[in-house]
Structure 1
Amino acid sequence: MNRRDYCRCTRVRNYTYDQAAKKLGCARRWLEDNISRLPRQKYGQNPVFCECELALIRDMFSILPEKVAEFIAAVTAELEPCAAEPAGEQEQPERVLTLAQISPAPPRRSTRTA
């Protein structure tokens, strides 16, 4: 994975420590203390954060209680009935050959009678 593959910003806007702390609802000091564990960009002395990095930080520190995880799994199973079916009943994807597996067709036999 490239370092910036996670970024989906259509318009990159970089936030400073103070701006990022305000958007995340945390103290600037917390960002400074944990900066080595956080996704960021660094130009010169001070790191900056884009929207995607702030979203990653939110995801990293989101706590999901067990009952909430069970609820999400149940709702997801209802929305995707194909995933809940046994493997034998699911549609099989069409087989796609790789270039190495492709070979020329055999020569055609002559159908002429003498």
Structure 2
Amino acid sequence: MSDPTPLAITLHRESRLLEVSFDDGSRFELPCEYLRVYSPSAEVRGHGPGQETLQLNKEDVTITAIDPVGNYGIKPTFSDGHDTGIYTWKLLYDLGRHYTTLWREYLGKVSAAGCSRKTGH
């Protein structure tokens, strides 16, 4: 079975959501903040296990541009200047399917670091 492919990608600027509809019938609305804190870039994920950097103060981040990357993904540019993450179709699909679990995990990490989403410290 091949990975699902997006049929449509729509950026809702006012609500700061990226809507992605896939060929298997799945449709996800992914907040820009969520996409930013789960960026696949080395800046966020590091170069190996345990090198991840917790992203803070991204509540108001938006996507200012989306560039296609071949036939396999997109590279969004975020309002904070971040533009190095390539989101493959598989990654977008997985982020959509596991949104609730991953968001809860992120909020737990923020709390464990003694931070809050609003202040970052």
TM over 0.5: no
Structure of greater Rg: 1
Higher share in strand: 2
TM-score, with normalisation over the residues of structure 2? 0.26
Higher share in helix: 1
